[in-house]
Amino acid sequence: MKRVLVTLMTVVVGVAVVAGIAIYTSVAQAEPPALKAEVAGTLDTPQGTLPHATLQLAVYPNSSDKVPPPATPKSPLGQDWLSGQPFYHPTTTIQVPANSAVTLTFIQYDTGGQIYNPFFAKVHGTMDGTMTWNGNSVTEVKSDNIGHTFTVHQYPEATQPDFFLSVPLPMNKANAKTDKAGYPVDPQKIEVTFVTGDPGTYVWNCEFPCGDMYQEFGGPLQQRGWMAGTFEVVG
């Protein structure tokens, strides 16, 4: 009888722990407010003349008095587990219009290094296969000069239209001149234009190992509001 009670209590505790982790994960992964692309005019594309929308994101190496961190629940231990980690700003929930040309600008303030997979050092999914980096048109960045990536892809087994976009964001030099907040005064500016199809919901993440824990792909890299999020194509 005692053995049965111990077994039962073990099961109950296990279920409680799993439920607690599930609840915490659900809260921690809450969807941040959306940044919506603004339509302004039209653009000639290989698909014809389409509505043209624009939006801008920044990438910071850490928060400061100048740029506050994303709103993220503390860990069960009460520690600020993402303190000092990089993040996209002002949000990681992106909305762009369907069947449109979209120009996305990145202002990149972080350093970087060698990316594990050189595939993500190349530009994929833009209108002409290029991106503009500090005024120059390029198709890739040296694999040892990567700060972050912005990589949009499908949910597994999704039935929505195919969509894939991957943009390598070059690093800033470690000795770059910085402002009082510690950010480069002359950050990297990257611009891409791509064409959307019909409505769908996708996910995006950074493919550069800029996090912590397992192979530096934990922490902010798996957290909405930081280095991963939702990419919505809306009608």
Give the start-to-end residue ranges of the domains of the chain. Answer: 1-30, 34-234
**Residue indicated by tokens 């990536």:** 149
Cβ–Cβ < 8 Å for 192, 54: no
Q: Is 21 helix (H, G, I), strand (E, B) or coil?
A: helix
Residue 100 banded pLDDT, cuts 50, 70, 90: very high
Helix (H, G, I), strand (E, B) or coil at 26: helix
Q: Does domain 34-234 have CATH number 1.20.1440?
A: no
For residue 170, whether the previous peptide bond is cis, meaning omega lies within 30 degrees of 0, is no
* 17 has pLDDT over 70: no
Q: What is d(CA 80, CA 149) in angstroms, rounded to the nearest whole number?
A: 25
pLDDT for the residue 107 = 98
**Percent of the chain beyond pLDDT 70?**
78
Give me the percent of the chain exceeding a pLDDT of 90. Answer: 67
Buried b (16+ CB within 10 A) or exposed e, 182-220: ebbeebbbbbbbbbbeeebebbbbbbbbbbbeeeebebb
Instruction: Give this prediction's pTM.
Output: 0.83
Residue 11 scores a pLDDT above 50: no
